[in-house]
Amino acid sequence: MKKDSQYMYKCLQLAERGRGSVEPNPMVGCVIVAGGRIVGKGWHGNFGGPHAEVEALRDAGSAARGATMYVSLEPCNHHGKTPPCTEAIIAARIRKVVIGMPDPNPEVTGNGADRLREAGITVVEHVERERCEALNEVFLANALQNRPFILLKVAQTLDGFIAAQKGTSHWITSEESRTEVHRLRSLYDAVLVGAETIRKDNPSLTVRHIDGRNPWRIILTRSWKLPLSSAVFTDEAKVRTIIVTSKKSARENAAVVTKMRKQGIRVVDVTTDVMEFASLKSMLTRLQNDFGIRSILVEGGAEVFSAFIRARLADRLDVFTGPKIIGQGRGSFSALRPLHLTDAHRFHVEDVHQMGGDVYMIMRPAKED
């Protein structure tokens, strides 16, 4: 089993090479092992291109006969942009296939493994499944929940404030932490903030300090108290700015909506208050289906953080804590206000490390008992 895990880690390393090129498909890596050594390797390199298994078989050539294949995702058994990988595996006379995670599509999950077994191939499943699923967490949210993957990024003081009483927040965390945030922005399709963040901080929400693509910028607003001179409405990236509001607010501010749209800024209206669950869920589905947005980095403020936590729409929570105490200010999740500790929203800590002078914690929602 230890060897199986080692080879699956290699699959994951290969799969990572497809990041940014294969979406909306999952990242997949594959190695073929014979006589205790890797004789073929492959990964899904671009959307619509050959799958990892086919690339690995091509790399292995005749050495694939009687060998063991390791692949991070269950081989497909249907015709899509490419032929079924199962048939290529069978034709190559692979003896055994070790699979990391099943295909998440409920209509086809298990079909690939079953087809291989029918052909007399030994199949081992769920090797390093959690790691394989973590690599494709965005794909899983898209496929299973029909919405983008949501990461909440919080920069706070030791006592849990994201800004001082007068609203100042520059800078709570270190330069190293801020650079990491820009790296995250470059990996996500969109950055989302509330209108208050635009009013108080006038952020550009672009990628700086590192090389990387600029994400879509999404702003949630109830009142349309948005300065039209804000960076997100006037810079070169303004055509990748989306304002989300309620239908009622859009009607009441029709002139402003028209002006924004003439400038190339998109406006999405939802049925009810933008901070309510139904509106958030509807918004996320529309952002995925209409704009191809499959991952969102939520950067604040407190009301927005609280809304996503309350709606249980946060898939991951990254907290950067700077070594400062201010005593009073705007709490990171101050809009939640649970009456009892038993009402708390629980998370489990996945990773903790120091970044500059800060503590960086990566968390995910705790599984309910």
User: Which residues are part of the catalytic machinery?
Assistant: 53
Q: How is residue 247 written in tokens?
A: 């239908």
For 34, 119, 167, 316, 358, the CA distances from 349, given in Å and listed in that order, are: 39, 43, 29, 10, 16
Cα(297)–Cα(148) distance, integer angstroms: 10
Cα(298)–Cα(265) distance, integer angstroms: 19
**Coil, helix or strand at residue 203:** coil
- Work out the widest C-alpha separation in the chain, in whole angstroms: 71
Helix (H) or strand (E) holding 193: strand 190-194
Cα(183)–Cα(160) distance, integer angstroms: 24
For 50, 203, 205, 206, the CA distances from 235, given in Å and listed in that order, are: 39, 11, 11, 10
Do the beta carbons of residue 41 and residue 56 sit within 8 Å? yes
Cα(145)–Cα(84) distance, integer angstroms: 25
In the block, tokens 């990024």 appear at: 153
Other CB atoms within 10 Å distance of the CB of residue 200: 17
DSSP classification of residue 222: S
Phi and psi at 365, nearest 5°, equal -55, 135
Tell me the residue length of the chain.
Answer: 369
